[in-house]
Amino acid sequence: VEATDGTAIGDGVGPGLNGAAAIPVSGQRVVLGKVAAPEGQEATSDHFYFWVPATALVERSQLVVCESVIATRQYTFYGLVEETYRGSRKRSMAGEVDEADGDVGYQPPFVSDGYTYAKASILRTEPAVLTSPRERSDVYLATDADARLAYQVDEMGQPLGIGLVKNGGEQLAGVGCIDLDYLLGAIGGHMVVNGTTGRGTKTSFLLTVLWLLLRLARRQAKERPSDPNRLRIAPIIFNVKGFDLFYIDRPNNRFDPGAHLGDWQRLEVDGPGPFANVSYYAVQQPGNSLPVPTGRSEGVQPYSWSLRDLVQQGLVTYLFAEADIQDSNFSAITDDLEAWLTNERTANDGTATRSLRADRGQPTTFQDLLKWTRQQAKAKEADRELGGHHSGTWQKLVRRLIKVVYESRGALRRDDQEGNPLNVARADTSDPIVIDLAALADQPELQRFVVATVFRQLVTARTGSAAVRDLVYVVMIDELNRFAPRGARDPITQLIETVAAEMRSQGIILFGAQQQASKVSEKVIENAGVRALGKSGSLELASPIWRFLGDGARRKAEALPPNEKLLIQDNFREPLHLRVPFPAWAMNPREAGGETVSRADGGDDLMAIIDK
Ligand SMILES: Nc1ncnc2c1ncn2[C@@H]1O[C@H](COP(=O)(O)OP(=O)(O)OP(=O)(O)O)[C@@H](O)[C@H]1O
Ligand SMILES: [Mg+2]
């Protein structure tokens, strides 16, 4: 017999057995107990009770299997132990006290032992029937193979192993999978993770899933490069806190191979390593060509836009707040302005190229544009270059332009002809792009502008004629409570809601994290095909957004250690309880050790770096 974690165990004595007596073993499975259905504890299509012999130990959150013959057919019920119970044969506490005559040192000559039983909720019935198991059916401890079936791995379009299935307190039951059809768009899309700060390990979890996705995509590219259906992933990561995510290409100095490598190897990753060839972008400083200081000495590129860049990419109207654009006079003047600045050419294949017009002395820098709008605002209607707008609207345009250009500091180049606009479009699976938003923390308008330009570029990249079918852009935004708070109607929130609700089919997938889902836009949470729960507070878990969780899952979520998660996917009847491997890349500057990793020594060669 093999225990669920792969270690050999003695003849017929299964894991979790506390007595000397062997428990009967049937095939590979260890018999744990027998279904019982007395009055008040009847079996239903949802759960059943089973008693456990004195020699066996049953734990809450173990996976069990029950074989039951019903109407001459054999059915298999896969269950999750919700709770264990121990009862004595006394009718009341008074009886217990009286047995010892109230003396703790007294050993009664005749003792009648109590009994143990457990309640299991049913995860799956095979063949699929909605019925209850029969009493006296055998209940077994689940094997790795059973655990896969319990969580429908056999029915998944594209399973991806992301952790190890917890099977009681210490045991594991093989690799736990999510279905990429639910994550990347075929059936559902997007993933959000919830958890208290630090202990919830949200950001590391998202990066772990990203790492495993990238690895799978690279594998498939190597094994079948010309397969049009292979997985293609382009990750875009927004850094929102400090410059924490500017070190994901460095080994994690807290990664201890002795303690942490085993879990990766169980996921069939022999040498986990940092991300390789990461591109980092931070906003450009005013007056020079450098990015703002990030703490990283090399490899960070600046991003910024000149007027010319904005026109070329069709971003002029993005400069203004949504509330302004909703004012029809204002949106008319910005549309006119954009048209007056833009020269648009459509090629035979339908692709449009835009450039800055120069036929009527159009301004070429923001500084010129400011000067020009000021002149227009002051001029008489007959002398204006763009007719048909009130003076008040012109003045509003001047005020808004001054505000956005001056407040942007370096992001909008006041006097430069050329900026360094972000280019996030990719042709195939590529290494992560990390874009800093943290340095813009005091300018939400500008953060929105950056996020919006990225999404806009992705939509264009996915729908243009050069669109790469099946390339999935995974956009990771941490701290959703800041960017898409519940009840907010501001432009960033609306943008993220639109991505969550509509962009899945366009190959744009959101990976989000938050401390409290109850404080994040419902639309974003509801549209996530996969939800993960790290350790969360009881107040948070009592909020309506978690109403669907059973009692058992809720208690589990309150007590999860940093390396465990509950995974919720539509077709799971109960959350999947996983142990997630420790990140091999630095999660912040304090964890950064060793040297930056480039493709040649990335991935499966981390051990070589650690050994150096
Ligand atoms: N699987 C794991 N097992 C054990 N420790 C982990 C694991 N993943 C991450 N950690 C540790 O926990 C720390 C915090 O993780 P992380 O930054 O992911 O938390 P967070 O929930 O995103 O926190 P915050 O709310 O502050 O953003 C990491 O720096 C890492 O050292
Ligand atoms: Mg975090």
pLDDT reported for residue 379: 93
CA-based nearest residue to 160, from 64, 269, 40: 269
pLDDT > 70? residue 495: yes
Residue 150, SS3 per DSSP: helix
Measured in Å, residue 605 CA sits from the centre of ligand 2 at 27
Query: With bands split at pLDDT 50, 70 and 90, how would you rate the model's confidence at 464?
Result: low
* Ligand 1, atom 11: closest residue by C-alpha: 201
Average pLDDT, whole number, for the chain? Answer: 88
Contact partners, residue 47, CB within 8 Å, separation at least 6: 79, 82, 119, 120, 121, 122
**Does residue 537's CB lie within 6 angstroms of at least one atom of ligand 1?**
no
pLDDT reported for residue 608: 37
* Least confident residue range of 212-216, 358-362, 471-475: 358-362
**Average pLDDT score over residue span 187-196:** 94
**Does residue 198's CB lie within 6 angstroms of at least one atom of ligand 1?**
yes
Ligand with the closest atom to the CA of 207? 1
Query: With bands split at pLDDT 50, 70 and 90, how would you rate the model's confidence at 28?
Result: low
pLDDT reported for residue 598: 64
Measured in Å, residue 8 CA sits from the centre of ligand 2 at 39
Atom of ligand 1 nearest to the CA of 195: 21
Higher pLDDT, residue 602 or 575? 575
In order of 221, 349, 350, 576, the CA distances from 345 in angstroms are 36, 11, 9, 53
pLDDT reported for residue 170: 86
Q: Which residue from 482, 587, 590 has its CB within 8 A of the most atoms of ligand 1, so it is best to mutate?
A: 587
**Average pLDDT score over residue span 591-603:** 65
Higher pLDDT, residue 52 or 321? 52
CA-based nearest residue to 392, from 332, 329, 335, 324: 329
* Inter-residue contact 95 to 111 (CB < 8 Å): no
Atom of ligand 1 nearest to the CA of 200: 21
526-562 pLDDT per residue, tens: 999 999 999 999 999 999 999 999 888 999 999 999 9
* Inter-residue contact 578 to 565 (CB < 8 Å): yes
**Average pLDDT score over residue span 334-352:** 88
Query: With bands split at pLDDT 50, 70 and 90, how would you rate the model's confidence at 466?
Result: low
Measured in Å, residue 186 CA sits from the centre of ligand 2 at 28
Torsion angles phi and psi, residue 84, rounded to 5: -115, 150
77-97 pLDDT per residue, tens: 999 999 999 999 999 999 989
pLDDT > 70? residue 22: no
* Ligand 1, atom 3: closest residue by C-alpha: 563
Find how far residue 66's CA is from the centre of its chain.
33
Contact partners, residue 27, CB within 8 Å, separation at least 6: none
Label each residue of 220-232 as H, E or C.
Answer: HHHHCCCCCCCCE
Higher pLDDT, residue 172 or 1? 172
Q: Is 538 exposed, middle or buried (0-12, 13-18, 19+ CB in 10 A)?
A: exposed
**Average pLDDT score over residue span 341-369:** 88
**Average pLDDT score over residue span 230-241:** 95
Query: With bands split at pLDDT 50, 70 and 90, how would you rate the model's confidence at 589?
Result: very high
pLDDT reported for residue 198: 82
Structure tokens of 314? 């069709």
pLDDT > 60? residue 8: no
Residue 45, SS3 per DSSP: coil
Q: Which residue from 204, 211, 479, 511 has its CB within 8 A of the most atoms of ligand 1, so it is best to mutate?
A: 204
Measured in Å, residue 21 CA sits from the centre of ligand 1 at 43
Measured in Å, residue 357 CA sits from the centre of ligand 1 at 50
Torsion angles phi and psi, residue 514, rounded to 5: -155, 155
Distance (Å, whole) CA 474 – CA 232: 10
**Does residue 242's CB lie within 6 angstroms of at least one atom of ligand 1?**
no
**Does residue 583's CB lie within 6 angstroms of at least one atom of ligand 1?**
yes
* Least confident residue range of 292-301, 361-370, 447-456, 487-496: 487-496
Distance (Å, whole) CA 523 – CA 76: 37
pLDDT reported for residue 505: 87
Q: Which residue from 164, 201, 253, 566 has its CB within 8 A of the most atoms of ligand 1, so it is best to mutate?
A: 201
Measured in Å, residue 193 CA sits from the centre of ligand 1 at 12
pLDDT > 50? residue 19: no
**Does residue 482's CB lie within 6 angstroms of at least one atom of ligand 1?**
no
**Does residue 563's CB lie within 6 angstroms of at least one atom of ligand 1?**
yes
